[in-house]
């Protein structure tokens, strides 16, 4: 699976050394390697291979390489492809990351732990003339939110949980809109999206008082028919991450939400004992809270992550959920007529 995103000609792109070696660390669950999977699927041409430690239980299917081998193959940076709970760089990673610097690769991280704050990595980078690049870094001098109406149209992907397809859904919907000659831009609000698009605002790294203001800056005034398709974060029902979800919802002043869900997931990822909210509850909660800054907010439909299902089973579930909910339901990665129906509903276009 490999997709492409539309070029963006603005001049605020990050200066990132490419191509990449994707670092998987010792990750044990695919959901915590979402940065690596996202780059593999949406920026494959920038990825040379993958590098995992001995205890890793996840692969993204790229050629396994050491940093030295990757540098010889043309890689110029090692990207930390893991998004773990808390965004930490564990001690078990430090020697391998330091060796990557010695082997000629810059380091790119999207963790809450700043690479430049780690003494060993800072010293190795200085010694070998390499760069430490932290993309989970918000822009300076962010304002507080204003709630003032902005021109243009906005779609926000929201979810029943974390790590179940909000980014992929936003990327796929933006691409599908452009295929219909609709002026649409993907707006990245997390570290993986920023790495894919080359720009954006990592909302979960913003001081809470300024998060809604950052979301406003992420999708500024635009032409009346332009769509910003905004990558959602977290879940309003999450005991840890609901704050960033609400700030993004309020600051985006979204016209349309698409609710993302993974069938078969019963508990919040990494939070045993916390039951997943229903799709209906998630729709209701987002609409009620979203009306604070956009009274006209509506839900266009549902995005199901059916990656764990076979084709026939996935199609049957998509059809049955659409009938049950009375809304378009699609898996944007599978595409097809169901995705076309969801896109038309987002645009409020006739069938």
Strands of the sheet with 329-330, listed across from one edge = 184-187, 227-230, 153-159, 256-261, 298-304, 329-330
> What per-residue confidence (pLDDT) applies to 350?
65
Domain ranges of the chain: 20-134, 153-347
Which fold does the domain 20-134 belong to in CATH?
Rossmann fold (3.40.50)
Reported as a single tens digit per residue, the pLDDT across 98-157 is: 999 999 999 999 998 999 999 999 999 999 999 999 999 899 999 999 999 999 999 999
Residue whose C-alpha is closest to residue 187's, from 244, 216, 228: 228
Tens-digit pLDDT profile for the chain (351 aa)? Answer: 555 554 454 446 688 999 999 999 999 889 889 899 999 999 999 999 999 999 999 999 999 999 999 999 999 999 999 988 888 999 999 999 999 999 999 999 999 899 999 999 999 999 999 999 999 989 999 999 999 999 999 999 999 999 899 999 999 999 999 999 999 999 999 999 999 999 999 999 999 999 999 999 999 999 999 999 999 999 999 999 999 999 999 999 999 999 999 999 999 998 999 999 999 999 999 999 999 999 999 999 999 999 999 999 999 999 999 999 999 999 999 999 999 999 999 999 765
Residues 179 and 171: their CA atoms lie apart, in Å, by 12
> What per-residue confidence (pLDDT) applies to 1?
52
Instruction: Please determine whether the domains at 20-134 and 153-347 fall in the same fold group of CATH.
Output: yes
> What per-residue confidence (pLDDT) applies to 38?
94
Residues 333 and 303: their CA atoms lie apart, in Å, by 10
Task: Please check whether residue 78 is in contact with residue 51, taking contact to mean a CB–CB distance below 8 angstroms.
Answer: yes
E strand residue ranges, the chain: 20-25, 47-52, 77-80, 106-109, 132-134, 153-159, 184-187, 227-230, 256-261, 298-304, 329-330
Predicted TM-score of the model (pTM): 0.89
Domain 153-347, what architecture?
Answer: 3-Layer(aba) Sandwich (3.40)
Residue whose C-alpha is closest to residue 105's, from 37, 19, 198: 19
Strands of the sheet with 20-25, listed across from one edge = 47-52, 20-25, 77-80, 106-109, 132-134
C-alpha distances (whole Å) from 40 to each of 266, 287, 328, 335 are 27, 33, 28, 19
> What per-residue confidence (pLDDT) applies to 86?
81
Token couple for 216: 């406003």
> What per-residue confidence (pLDDT) applies to 9?
43
């Amino acid at each position: 699976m490999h997709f492409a995103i539309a070029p963006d000609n603005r001049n605020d792109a990050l200066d990132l050394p490419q191509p990449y070696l994707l670092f998987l660390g010792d990750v044990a669950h695919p959901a915590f390697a979402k940065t690596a999977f996202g780059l593999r699927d949406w920026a494959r041409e920038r990825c040379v291979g993958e590098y995992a430690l001995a205890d890793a239980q996840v692969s993204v299917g790229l050629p396994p390489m050491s940093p030295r081998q990757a540098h010889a193959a043309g890689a110029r940076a090692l990207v930390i492809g893991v998004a773990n709970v808390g965004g930490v760089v564990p001690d078990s990673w430090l020697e391998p990351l330091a060796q990557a610097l010695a082997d000629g690769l810059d380091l790119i991280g999207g963790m809450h732990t700043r690479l430049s704050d780690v003494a060993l990595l800072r010293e190795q980078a200085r010694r070998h003339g390499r760069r430490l690049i932290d993309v989970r870094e918000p822009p300076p001098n962010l304002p507080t939110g204003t709630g003032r109406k902005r021109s243009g149209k906005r779609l926000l992907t929201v979810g029943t949980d974390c790590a179940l397809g909000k980014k992929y859904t936003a990327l796929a919907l933006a691409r599908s809109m452009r295929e219909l000659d609709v002026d649409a831009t993907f707006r990245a609000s997390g570290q993986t999206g920023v790495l894919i698009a080359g720009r954006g605002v990592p909302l979960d790294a913003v001081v809470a008082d300024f998060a809604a203001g950052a979301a406003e800056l992420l999708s500024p005034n635009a032409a009346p028919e332009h769509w910003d398709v905004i990558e959602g974060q977290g879940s309003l029902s999450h005991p840890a991450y609901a704050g960033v979800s609400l700030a993004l919802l309020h600051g985006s002043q979204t016209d349309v939400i698409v609710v993302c869900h993974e069938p078969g997931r019963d508990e919040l990822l990494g939070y045993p004992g916390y039951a997943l909210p229903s799709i209906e509850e998630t729709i209701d909660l987002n609409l009620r809270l979203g009306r604070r800054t956009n009274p006209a907010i509506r839900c266009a439909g549902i995005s199901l992550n059916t990656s764990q299902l076979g084709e026939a089973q996935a199609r049957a579930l998509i059809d049955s959920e659409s009938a049950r909910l009375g809304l378009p339901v699609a898996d944007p990665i599978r595409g097809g007529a169901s995705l076309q129906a969801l896109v038309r509903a987002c645009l409020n276009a006739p069938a």
